[in-house]
Amino acid sequence: KQEVTQIPAALSVPEGENLVLNCSFTDSAIYNLQWFRQDPGKGLTSLLLIQSSQREQTSGRLNASLDKSSGRSTLYIAASQPGDSATYLCAVKGGAGSYQLTFGKGTKLSVIP
């Protein structure tokens, strides 16, 4: 069974700081990995999608990397802003014979003005 772990569970940083969120998964036979953002009481907003053949994806101040063989992904946020405060979820598709999405528990980010 695929398991996804996100570290840290919570993170508080001052505005302007660069930061890294970590995601690890137990079965490297994945199709893709997707990073989402969730604001309190809201649905999920897709940030970046990395296919299994890719190493990284970039969108604005966000950069996500994927090391499939080691079962790891990182989400790098540059020059953090208070508006970045949210919970960030990592989800992998596939692994252990499953075509489903498996989510981590998320990292709650607070960017302090």
Partner 1 sequence: GAVVSQHPSWVICKSGTSVKIECRSLDFQATTMFWYRQFPKQSLMLMATSNEGSKATYEQGVEKDKFLINHASLTLSTLTVTSAHPEDSSFYICSVARGDSGYTFGSGTRLTVV
- List residues binding partner 1 (CB under 8 A): 31-32, 34, 36, 41-46, 49, 51, 89, 91, 93, 100-101, 103-106
Beta bridge partners of 54: none
Smallest gap from residue 61 Cβ to partner 1 (A): 20
Q: Which residues contact 40 (CB under 8 A, 6 or more apart)?
A: 86, 87
Of the two residues 53 and 69, which places its CB atom closer to partner 1 in the complex? 53
Angle at 106 between CA 24 and CA 77, to 5 degrees: 80
Of the two residues 15 and 39, which places its CB atom closer to partner 1 in the complex? 39
| Residue 80: both structure tokens together | 């953090």
Smallest gap from residue 79 Cβ to partner 1 (A): 25
